[in-house]
Amino acid sequence: MQTESSAIDEAYKFLRAALNPDGSLTRSQVFPSVPPTPQLTANSPSETQLALTKDIHLHNSNITFLRLFRPANHTGKLPIIIDFHGSGFVICSAASAPFNELWIRACAFAPALIISVEYRLAPEHRLPAAYDDAIEAVMWVRDQAKGIDGCDPWMKEVADYSKVYMMGMSAGGNIAYHAGLRALDADISPVQIKGLILNQPFFGGVQRTPSEERLSHNPAFPLNASDLMWSLALPVGCNRDHEYCNPLVGCSPKIGRLPRCLIRGFEGDLLVDRIKGLAKLLEASGVQVVVKIEDGGFHGAELSDDQSKVQELCLQIKDFIDSS
């Protein structure tokens, strides 16, 4: 029988991280970082020819930034997708290779201007730090729309501020959800948030769900890793029924004001029951919800070598935007 100590040790190995005495993490590089490519060159890899990318500082003190993705061969205005990367609030970056490659494809296919947010990671910066960074990114888009302190040339050329979406995978889906709630009471005019795209959003709770019990040892995302991520991300002293983690406990009265939502999941993901529960909560609150739960699959399947999962995600994003 596995002890609690051995389960925690295995979870740290899964994250490729080690906890330091001061409470910070030493992180091994799970994925390589990719530099931006603001201009295409003759020797650019073929997979990067689809889009241009560049980084913009968001908050110098917090060392946060925005990575912009725009289709390489597109003219005219584009919807804006503000994206938050996954990995449990504690690892990876907007510049991590799998996310970078995924959004290059998605921005060209949608097509859309994607703004991926480099937010602060836990446990050095526990929640709500990531939510604060998310809403700061929204405000940056608002200021671009108003022309405050000038306007980035890409934003001026292609951004359609009447069609803004907030999107995230895993922990990023959690961030998109909570940032969407915050944006309801923020002065973001003339920006219009048309929808949320929650891809396998990362939520939890004290009481185990059947899918968590059934898939607790799933190698793509084991339950002990989920528990560890929440223990590192939540405010000190809070359990998994905190509002940041479990929206079904003491749900926000603002939920019914959220825009249209696309919620995606896989039956092979231990989070699937919580994803279905969130979809039912939103629908019961009067939110228009498009639910896409696929048979099989696993958490983060789009980051694997299965290109069919990438194509499926891109198609669903495009359909959701086109039908808004």
The answer to whether 62 touches 146, Cβ cutoff 8 Å, is no
Pull the structure tokens for residue 119: 């937010």
The answer to whether 238 touches 205, Cβ cutoff 8 Å, is no
**Could you give the residue numbers annotated as active site?**
170, 269, 299
What is the rounded CA–CA span in Å between residue 265 and residue 145? 33
The answer to whether 318 touches 311, Cβ cutoff 8 Å, is no
Tally of CA atoms within 13 A in the half-sphere of 204 that contains its CB: 23
Pull the structure tokens for residue 42: 């003759």
Pull the structure tokens for residue 22: 């001061």
Buried b (16+ CB within 10 A) or exposed e, 41-61: eeeeeeebebbbbbbeebbee
The answer to whether 265 touches 271, Cβ cutoff 8 Å, is yes
Q: What is the DSSP letter of 39?
A: S
Residues paired with 115 in a beta bridge = 68, 82
Pull the structure tokens for residue 212: 């968590």
Break the chain down into helix, strand, coil percent, rounded to 5.
35, 20, 45
What is the rounded CA–CA span in Å between residue 142 and residue 153? 15
Place of tokens 């241009």: 52
3-class secondary structure, 81 = strand
Residues whose CB is less than 8 angstroms from the CB of residue 308 and which lie 6 or more positions away in sequence, other chains included: none
Angle between helices 223-233 and 4-15 (to 10 degrees): 80
